[in-house]
Amino acid sequence: MSDHDHKSAHPDSLAHGHVHPDTHPHVHQSHAAIIKRLKRADGHLRSIITMIEEGRECVDIAQQLHAVEKAVCQAKRTLIQDHIDHCLEDTVASLRNGERAPLEAFKKITKYL
């Protein structure tokens, strides 16, 4: 095992791409895509700053800001849904089907974030 591996990591958490905060960084499969999306939004935002500095039309700037806002919101939505699907799911995995109904309802409503 390397210095970054810990024997205390729970096997189920490794299967889902994350581990508990006291053992390893908290990483999901979706994080790479989220980072890529946010880096793209960062570059886009920098270009919007340049647009403002150059005195571009407000409607053009507003349109571009709207696009960045949507990208950031999508990144947030992906992160939250991934957390619910993996972290919360791991927490309640041992519940019986009838006890899982509130979780399933919660997962459905988060699609409207």
Q: Which amino acid is at 1?
A: M
pTM check: above 0.75: no
Helix then strand then coil, in percent of the chain rounded to 5, is: 70, 0, 30
Query: Would you call 9 helix, strand, or coil by DSSP?
Result: coil
Distance CA 10, CA 19 (A): 7
Torsional class of 57: left (φ above 0), alpha (ψ -120 to 50), beta (otherwise): beta
Domain boundaries, the chain: 29-112
Q: Average pLDDT for residues 32-46, to the nearest whole number?
A: 95
Please indicate whether residue 71 or residue 104 has the higher confidence score (pLDDT): 71
Averaged pLDDT of the chain: 77
The domain defined by 29-112 folds into: Methane Monooxygenase Hydroxylase; Chain G, domain 1 (1.20.58)
Query: Would you call 79 helix, strand, or coil by DSSP?
Result: helix
